Amino acid sequence: MIFEILAIGLIISAILALFLDEVVYSVAALSGIFFFTAIIYALSGSLFAAIFQFAVGVGTLAILFLSSEMLGEKQIKKASPAKTAGLIGAGVVLSLPAIFLSVSTKKNLGIDVDFGEALWNMRGFDVLLQALVILTIALGIAIVLYERRKK
Partner 1 sequence: MDFVILALIMLAIGIYGLLTNRQLLKVFISIELIATAATLNFVMLASPHGLGEALLILAFSVDTAVSAVILALLVLVSKRYGTGDLSKIIAEMQENAEKEESEVEAQ
Span of 42-50, 81-89, 143-151 interacting with partner 1 by CB under 8 A: 42-50
34 neighbors 57 (Cβ within 8 angstroms) = yes
Is 144 one of the binding residues for partner 1 (CB under 8 A)? no
The CB-of-74 to partner 1 minimum distance in angstroms stands at 12
The CB-of-25 to partner 1 minimum distance in angstroms stands at 11
Buried/exposed 107-131: b ≥16 CB within 10 Å, e otherwise? eeeeeeeeeeeeeeeeeeeeeeeee
91 neighbors 16 (Cβ within 8 angstroms) = yes
Out of 122, 138, 144, 145, the only residue in the binding site for partner 1 (CB under 8 A) is: 122
Taking each helix axis from N to C end, the angle separating 2-19 and 23-43, rounded to the nearest 10 degrees, works out to: 160
Q: How many residues bind partner 1 (CB under 8 A)?
A: 63
Compose the 73-102 pattern: x for residues touching partner 1 by CB under 8 A, - for all others: ---------------------xx-xxx-xx
99 neighbors 92 (Cβ within 8 angstroms) = no
Out of 82, 103, 147, 149, the only residue in the binding site for partner 1 (CB under 8 A) is: 103
Q: Where are the alpha helices (DSSP H) in the chain?
A: 2-19, 23-43, 47-71, 81-100, 115-117, 124-150
91 neighbors 12 (Cβ within 8 angstroms) = yes
Q: Which residues bind partner 1 (CB under 8 A)?
A: 3-4, 7, 10-11, 14-15, 17-18, 23, 26-27, 30, 33-34, 37, 40-41, 44-46, 48-49, 52-53, 56, 59-60, 63-64, 67-68, 70-72, 94-95, 97-99, 101-104, 108-109, 111-119, 122-123, 126-127, 130, 133-134, 137
